[in-house]
Chains A and B, each alone.
Chain A
Amino acid sequence: MPDLRIDATVNGRAISRPAKPWQRLLDFLRDDLNLTGNKEGCGAGECGTCSVFLDGVLVKSCLVPVAKAQNARVETIESLGRAGALSVLQRAFHKAGASQCGYCIPGMVMAGTAALRANPLAGREEIRERLGGNICRCTGYQKILDAVELTRDVGNGTLPESALAEEEPADGRFIGANVRRLDAPSKVSGALKYAADMTMPGMLHVQVLRSPHPHARIVSIDTAGAQAMPGVAGVVMADDVPGIDGFGVFVNDQPVLARGKVRYVGDAIVAVAAEDELTARRALDHVTVVYDPLPAVFDPREAMRPGAPVIHDDAPDNITKHIPIRVGDVESGFARSDLIVTQTYSTQAIEHAYLEPEAGLGYVDPDGVVTIISPSQNITHHRHMLARILALPINRVRFIMSPVGGGFGGKEDMIYQGILALLAIKTGRPVRYVFTREESIIATAKRHPSRTTLKMGLTRDGRICAVEFRMISDGGAYGLSTEGVMRKAAILGAGPYNIANLRMDTYGVYTNNTPSGAFRSFGALQTQFATESHLDICAEKLGLDPFAIRRVNAMRDGAVTHTKQTLGSVSLMRALAAAEEAARWEAGPPSSRGATRHDLGGAGNRAPCTLGARFAAAEHAAQPEKVA
């Protein structure tokens, strides 16, 4: 069956060109028309980074077969404005600080534009509802909603156009002033190129075969079928690594491609570079891997037991990192306590869910320098690791950081840059690898799931006498940032409290689960969740107010932490006062409130989520007619 021929008007220009029958409108716009302001965040209609107007109606172009664009009028973010000639809404996004990583922003600008086209007087709730199909991971949405409201108000004359201009700092000082982001125009216009938006002449496309087994020995890998496919330019596996194969933020325990065995579902084994993505994908079907499944372990407590399956030979106890901290005399502290409470807290794995899935390009430049372009959060460290992996001097390896479409710690790991380098070297051509959302979720690090057992002894007035703290974290198949996460968990986990007697142990443990790694707060979240929950429980048992029990134990200026850091200034007391006031807190132990509490609802509380603001707006608009 021949290709389709698409005749359409795109951003005001007539186009007529062939398209594959299976292409989505998104592919056609990005790959064939180079309109890369339209991003792919999920490919499943969930995120809205690909929103475009089709005959004036906003749709998600990842869900539109390209054939539906036949004879249609398509408008993309590129049609709305460009740096120096931005639309009012784009200027409002700039003014309000609505763009951060920027990856969702073209879609948000499109959705905001559509919302105000549908109802130029839409209220905040209706705007929120009409933007419901677009996800942002950075802003918390408030500034995006502010920007759409600002656009509405400028549009209907409630605010002057000067409201879009940058405010001059009153006293000429920029510290503390609300300044606009320099990079916002490139983001609100969709002009900024993320790695997946970049192309190079002669570029090949990469796909990766991943393990379906959590733990298995690789008996054999046969790539002959893939190698023989027309359009395949190169296939690499562990044997192609010329240097010392291993990377990690603290321990270099992860090979570029599985070496001898796989350790989790999603472990990369073979990578293919081909003339197009479809060929590369199909080539993976022609790779045969014979596995010898090994017993796997999924619970870190089981992994710590003698006789558990060993995941890395150099860690026979499966312990990635143990951080012990000992302060004072815990036993005597407990002996002096009026109340001892023991409780276990657990947290789950969490995906960072940045809107930009991992993507990168690799090439060998004319001087023989292996170059990687990727949204890496740690390019200097990656450069050192890759030089060792490739057995190249450091001046033959270069990393270029592309705009990071959200990281949150999840882009610190060098999990695909090594693959790009191997394939660029092997094929002698530029290569690009773009993860799907599913691949990003399967293969990349998560927040450490944790299980913390906390024993705390306190006096009747709430003073902490002793704490015994044991956190076991599931580090998954590779070390990544586990060591650092365990350190921070131990350093910060006991909270900003004076604890004279402390026994703290944090363990990062290898399992056959998806690797855990860096994630905002880096271990402190898991341990502080335990500590803060525990203080509330102790407050209830002692009949104390939760704020009061924290104030009794709070570190003040000059406090020395359990890791012997002297804190010059401690803002905890101010933070508590601010939180207490903002929450309209009713003093008393946690159990003293109930039906009478007045700190729920009212100003400052978000009403439960609902939909239908547009009906209320319509009913309101219809009201005067009824009266007349």
Chain B
Amino acid sequence: MLYCDAYLTPRSLADAFTAMAEYRGRYRLVAGATDTLPWARAGRAGDVAIPALIDVSAIPELRERRVDATRVRIGAATPMQRFLDDGDLARAMPVMARCAVWFADDQIRAAATVGGNLVNASPAADATPPLLAHDAQVELACAREGKITRRRMALGDFVRGPGKTALEADEILLAIECAALPGYGAEFEKVGHRRSLVIATVCLAAVVRLDAAHAIADLRLAVGGVGPVPCRLHESENFLRGGAATLARLEEAAHMTVGLVQSRTRHDYRRDVLHGFVVRGLASALRRAGGASPPVGELEASHA
């Protein structure tokens, strides 16, 4: 069980930093709290007593939402469900909508935040691959010498390893910024022991845009669960970009991922799944991008 002497809900960034200074070394930040509460139970951290829980989910900067035709800026405390039920956000980040439907369940998504998912830095974090596909930047803030300062970095640099990020002890993850990708076809693939409420064994984000000739104008692929940190599949992307979307080429691109699996367990399984996810995920994304979608037909034929 999780016990605390104080549960603080600062309404401003300044108040949050004041509370963090007051409880220095004796607090834990929470937003949705959906990971923190199950963490403090038998079999994981056991009973945990923390002097202060500081709930950052009410801070305006962490609840920001700016969406236009080219850019998206969302506060770190944005609940995952927004990617499904906020139409503008879903259109600007089609792969996040696909990801969100696989994230925990409707009820937990209503509370769980995208920032929480990033700072936990699970190798299998659902939100990280799609945000990598968006070339997302994260914005961090701290209060030092009485002044609030912000810094920015690429998400790929922020996530350092299992449970490790670039976040300093006195920093808060404020917001995530990325390119909007309206009109892209998207797919999120995930496999685990059940549909809802499951940690991914492998997950994959795929976004694709086609040109007028139905060649691949842009595509981004990112994978989670197969190594210490989620990553982009640059080799496969580069191979496919600019070319025709045929099943043979998807298969070839998928084959390039074989060496990527560095997980501690179930290598062969993950290799097979990743291969399948690249082909099937791209085929679905291509179809949603408005492609004539020969790959899907071919794919179905090849598995009939």
Contact = CB atoms under 8 A, between A and B. Distances in A.
Interface of A: 1, 4, 21-22, 24, 43-46, 48, 51, 54, 57-60, 62-68, 70, 111, 114, 118, 129-130, 132-133, 278, 281, 436, 438-439, 442, 609-612, 614-615
Interface of B: 1-7, 9, 30, 32-34, 37-38, 41-43, 47, 53, 55, 57, 81, 84, 97-98, 101-102, 104-108, 110-111, 194-197
A609 B195 contact: yes
Q: A-B pairs with the 7 shortest C-beta distances?
A: A133-B105, A132-B196, A21-B7, A438-B42, A44-B38, A1-B6, A67-B7
Nearest to A614: B101
A45 B41 contact: no
Contacts of A45: 34, 37-38, 104, 107-108, 197
B3 A615 contact: no
Chain B CB within 10 Å — which of A54, A65, A114, A438 has the most? Answer: A65
27 contacts: A1-B6, A21-B4, A22-B4, A43-B37, A43-B41, A44-B38, A45-B37, A45-B197, A48-B105, A51-B107, A59-B110, A60-B34, A60-B111, A63-B111, A64-B33, A65-B53, A65-B55, A66-B7, A67-B7, A129-B195, A133-B104, A278-B3, A281-B47, A438-B42, A438-B43, A442-B42, A611-B196
A57 B106 CA distance: 9
A438 B81 CA distance: 29
A436 B37 contact: no
B9 A611 contact: no
Given A44-B41, A133-B105, 18 more contacts: A4-B7, A21-B53, A22-B2, A22-B7, A22-B53, A44-B38, A58-B106, A59-B107, A59-B110, A60-B108, A63-B32, A67-B55, A68-B33, A70-B9, A118-B106, A129-B101, A130-B106, A612-B101
A18 to B, nearest CB: 13
Given A58-B107, A436-B41, A63 B33 contact: yes
Nearest to A278: B3
Given A132-B195, A611-B195, A65 B106 contact: no
A24 B101 contact: no
Contacts of B5: 1, 21
Contact of B37 (A44, A48, A59, A132): A44
Nearest to B191: A609
Contact of B3 (A22, A438, A612): A22
A60 B107 contact: yes
Contact of B101 (A21, A64, A114, A611): A611
Contacts of A438: 41-43
A607 B162 CA distance: 35
B53 A439 contact: no
B17 to A, nearest CB: 19
B93 to A, nearest CB: 14
A132 B103 CA distance: 11
A133 B2 CA distance: 23
Most B CB atoms within 10 A — which of A21, A43, A281? A21
B98 A65 contact: no
Given A1-B6, A63-B38, A67-B9, A114 B106 contact: yes
A81 to B, nearest CB: 21
Contacts of A58: 106-107, 110
Nearest to B55: A67
A58 B85 CA distance: 14
Contacts of A48: 105, 107
Nearest to B5: A1
Contact of A65 (B33, B104, B195): B33
Contact of A63 (B1, B6, B34, B84): B34
Contact of B197 (A22, A68, A132, A610): A132
Nearest to A595: B304
A443 to B, nearest CB: 11
Contacts of A21: 4-7, 53
Contacts of A281: 1, 47
Contacts of A67: 7, 9, 55
Contacts of B97: 615
A434 to B, nearest CB: 13
User: Residue among B4, B41, B102, B105 with the most chain A CB within 10 A?
Assistant: B105
A615 B96 CA distance: 13
Contacts of B105: 48, 132-133
A59 B195 contact: no
Contacts of A610: 195
Contacts of B101: 129, 611-612, 614-615
A46 B197 contact: yes
A46 B197 CA distance: 7
Nearest to A601: B304
B45 to A, nearest CB: 12
Contacts of A44: 37-38, 41
A422 B104 CA distance: 42
A48 B195 CA distance: 15
Given A22-B2, A44-B37, A611-B102, A133 B7 contact: no
